[in-house]
Amino acid sequence: MFEIMEGLKSAFWLVVTFDAELWEISLRSLRVTLTALLVASAIAIPLGTFLAVQRFRYRRTIISFINALMGLPPVVVGLLVYILLSRSGPFGVLNLLFTPTAMIIAQVIIITPVIASIAHQSMRELWAEYHDLLISLNTTKGQRILTLIKDGRRNLLTAMLAGFGRAIGEVGAIMIVGGNIDHVTRVLTTAIALETGKGDFALALGLGFVLIGIAFVVNIAIHTLSQTEREGRW
Amino acid sequence: MTDMFPLTLEQVIVRRQRKLVLGPVDLTLDQSGLTIILGPNGSGKTTLLRVMHGIERINAGTISWAVDDPAKHAFVFQSPIVLRRTVSENLAYPLRLLKTPPQNVRAAVHHWVERIGLGGVRNSPATRLSGGERQKLAIARALIRKPEVLFLDEPCANLDGHATREIEALLQETAANGTRLVMATHDLGQARRLARDIVFVLHGKVHESGPAETAFSNPKTSEFAGFLRGDIVT
């Protein structure tokens, strides 16, 4: 209990004193996570919607595979990305290992199946509702996908928020591919792991509370900006 | 007046999961008026309409139009499908698919939203409308593209007398303006009020077809005679 109180106090002081290192780490966390979220959403949302509207051979297999990838262990993803980006790996020449870009790549791999799977579920329901109308209007595949994405944006936002939640709290993969290098790849989660290892539980808890605060603020901001809760709007 | 007719169905058969749901059907519809497809629930009316519109796959037979242009058909479903958008956006949707200039879209939406008496709720979500209002919106959305043929699947099912009267007036006006209407109903009173031609369907087969006046006064089959008497035809 004492440590939790100390953690809260520590978080409070870190925030109100505009601790430079905290801001740097927090902003890097946000930059890495939001970039990964945008890239993953750009892949996962059209993919999930396409799987909802298009019937083809092995479609169910692909859906099952994506669902299975939701449970992908982040440490394994980190290891694979590490091997691919290491000097002896196929992408070693790009010199991306231990950079924020490597962390973004790992996060994209982790959250794309999460967003795609949730997007597919909600788009499938909307497609069942719209199917007859869109077929009778002679819409093209592209028009169907765009219509579903537009009208299902509230559900897609939920899918994106699930992806954000998974990415912002990720530690295993980004620790491996980022290396937790001070002023380069250190983010909130890896900093928490480091402080815990050093035995500075108060600071670790403080960083943890800041992380939770960021997650809350981003969720509320997205809901507010997209006006999902406003009466009478879609 | 449309040059798409006559529409000819020859030996059309539809099976679902190896069960015969329609056919074999031989039927010819000429170019003007309002044809009512009459029959009890589950008789195959909806399937026949969907076959004519081209959204139901047939297992055998042929469907031929004098001039086939799917863009000139429109379909109104028994349970009105409204997009998760405002009333105005629902009306604008089919025109935007056709890349209609924005000023023409605005003019057409203004005309139709006033015509169906929903001007006061044009910016409200369409899902908040009552059943009758939704059906009027669905009909207006079908008519806004100026189709030459409008298929309607029991558009007044589950509606009260006032809403039914409004929709029937709209349909009569549409037919008078030269749009060919083909409508399914199990409501004999509605058929008597609206029909120029009758197609009586039972167990997936056409038992009677021809001018409504003749069919009602002198039914050729015992099944249709029973239906007209109010017998439970099975």
> A137–B84: do the CB atoms touch at under 8 Å?
no
For B75, the closest chain A residue by CA position comes to A136
Helices and strands, number each (H, E), in chain A: 10, 0
> B74–A136: do the CB atoms touch at under 8 Å?
yes
pLDDT score recorded for residue A232: 47
- B149 φ, ψ to 5°? -130, 130
Q: What angle do CA A139, A45, A172 make, to 5 degrees?
A: 170
- Distance (Å, whole) CA A95 – CA A68: 31
Q: Which domains does chain B have, with CATH numbers?
A: 7-82+129-229 (3.40.50.300)
Q: Does B85 touch chain A (CB under 8 A)?
A: yes
- Distance (Å, whole) CA A72 – CA A22: 30
pLDDT score recorded for residue A52: 94
B-chain residues within 8 Å CB-CB of A126? 84
How do residues A91-101 score in pLDDT, each as one tens digit? 999 999 999 99
A22 or A187, which is more confident? A187
A-chain residues within 8 Å CB-CB of B96? none
- Distance (Å, whole) CA B227 – CA B234: 10
A-chain residues within 8 Å CB-CB of B53? 136
Q: Which residues of B59-93 are buried (b: 16+ CB within 10 A; e: fewer)?
A: eebebebeeeeeebbbbbbbebbbbbbbbbbbbbb
A-chain residues within 8 Å CB-CB of B87? none
For A152, the closest chain B residue by CA position comes to B84
> B85–A151: do the CB atoms touch at under 8 Å?
yes
Of the partner residues A133, A138, A232, the one whose CB lies closest to the CB of residue B70 = A138
How do residues A140-175 score in pLDDT, each as one tens digit? 999 999 999 999 998 899 899 999 999 999 999 999
For B52, the closest chain A residue by CA position comes to A136
Distance from CA of B198 to the nearest CA of A (A): 24
Tokens of A231: 């009466």
- The answer to whether residue A109 scores a pLDDT higher than 60 is yes
pLDDT score recorded for residue A229: 46
Q: Does B216 touch chain A (CB under 8 A)?
A: no
Tokens of B45: 């009316």
- The answer to whether residue A225 scores a pLDDT higher than 80 is no
Contact B221, B212 (CB under 8 A): no
CB within 8 Å of B178: residues ≥ 6 apart: B1, B2, B32
Q: What angle do CA B47, B49, B50 make, to 5 degrees?
A: 65
Average pLDDT over residues A118-131: 95
- The answer to whether residue A228 scores a pLDDT higher than 60 is no
Q: Which domains does chain A have, with CATH numbers?
A: 2-225 (1.10.3720.10)
- The answer to whether residue A19 scores a pLDDT higher than 90 is no
A115 or A215, which is more confident? A115
For A142, the closest chain B residue by CA position comes to B97
- Distance (Å, whole) CA B198 – CA B183: 10
Question: pLDDT 10s per residue in chain B (234 long)?
Answer: 677 888 999 999 999 988 999 979 999 998 778 999 999 988 999 999 999 999 999 999 999 998 888 888 899 999 999 999 999 999 999 999 999 999 999 999 999 999 999 999 999 999 999 988 999 999 999 999 999 999 999 999 878 888 899 899 999 999 998 899 999 998 999 999 999 999 999 999 999 999 999 999 999 888 889 888 888 776
> A133–B94: do the CB atoms touch at under 8 Å?
no
Distance from CA of A65 to the nearest CA of B (A): 29
pLDDT score recorded for residue A231: 46
How do residues A4-16 score in pLDDT, each as one tens digit? 787 778 778 877 8
For B99, the closest chain A residue by CA position comes to A143
